[in-house]
Amino acid sequence: MLAVSNKVATEKEERPNGIPQHVAVIMDGNGRWAKQRSLPRHAGHRSGVSAVRRTVEHAAKRGVAVLTLFAFSSENWRRPQDEVGRLMKLFLEALQREVDELHRNNVRLRFIGARQQLNEGLLAKIDAAEARTSANTGLILNIAVAYGGRWDIVEAARELAGMVANNEISIADIDEDRFAAALALSGLPDPDLLIRTGGEQRISNFLLWHLAYSELWFCDRLWPDFGPAEFDQAIAFFAQRQRRYGHTGDQVGAA
């Protein structure tokens, strides 16, 4: 994997040559990938880990500064216990196996989601990986586990309400910037590009607040088959978009 040093630019700063600063990915289709091969669903998840590795390497190579991967949603707890158990075990093993190399490549790892819902063993590994890579200055890799966009917003509301109750801030102090700062991806720019594999064109409770102005790219390819070619297709799509944020096309063109 390439060592990269991508400073997170300010919101107004444009990245060169149409590369999105922050890419978010809904990694969907592991189960169907396995089913097509008459394999158990967990074989699809296992194969999905290789796609994660490829994607992290390629995103870094392309100069993406922040990559946020949806690994397990707040609703995925509803799956059969056996599948959930195997997924948690897989996260633990992948973390154990990959963290050295991620660290060597200057990647900063962050987990977002309801940590208290995870088992102690996994949580300890997550805490250790975050602490170990916290001073790294390359790609910021956020893994969303037990994450839901609604959960995130409710947590932020709870935190801000607590601050008001403690007279740390007033109600009038709550604006969009303060709200965003109370969310799990605090301090990072919103995703410029959202990729979803697996053919579904929905958000499935991912980053509800942050995707307000993201460009959305969907592909039929199942997650274990996702690789650099598909990533580059998504980047090429992104490079063709005119981001207007409510302005007219002429206004943006003249800027």
Q: How far is the CB of 71 from Mg ion (least distance, A)?
A: 12
Nearer to ligand IPE, 70 or 151 (CB): 70
Q: How far is the CB of 226 from ligand IPE (least distance, A)?
A: 11
Q: Using the rule CB under 5 A, is 230 a contact of Mg ion?
A: no
User: Is 173 a known active-site residue?
Assistant: no
Q: What are phi and psi for residue 196, nearest 5 degrees?
A: -130, 125
156 binds, among Mg ion, ligand IPE, none (CB under 5 to 8 A by kind): none
What's the rounded Cα separation, in Å, for the pair 227 and 82?
28
Q: Are 32 and 45 in contact (CB under 8 A)?
A: no
Residue keyed to tokens 């969310």: 183
76 binds, among ligand IPE, Mg ion, none (CB under 5 to 8 A by kind): ligand IPE
Q: Using the rule CB under 6 A, is 148 a contact of ligand IPE?
A: no
Q: Are 76 and 109 in contact (CB under 8 A)?
A: no
Q: How far is the CB of 28 from ligand IPE (least distance, A)?
A: 5
Q: Which residues neighbour 104 within 8 Å (Cβ) at sequence distance 6 or greater? A: 3
Instruction: Look at residues 114, 15, 73 and name the one whose alpha carbon lies nearest to residue 196.
Output: 73
User: Is 28 a known active-site residue?
Assistant: yes
Chain contacts with ligand IPE (rule: CB under 6 A) = 26-32, 70-73, 76, 87, 198, 200, 202, 204, 223
Q: Which residues are catalytic?
A: 28, 76
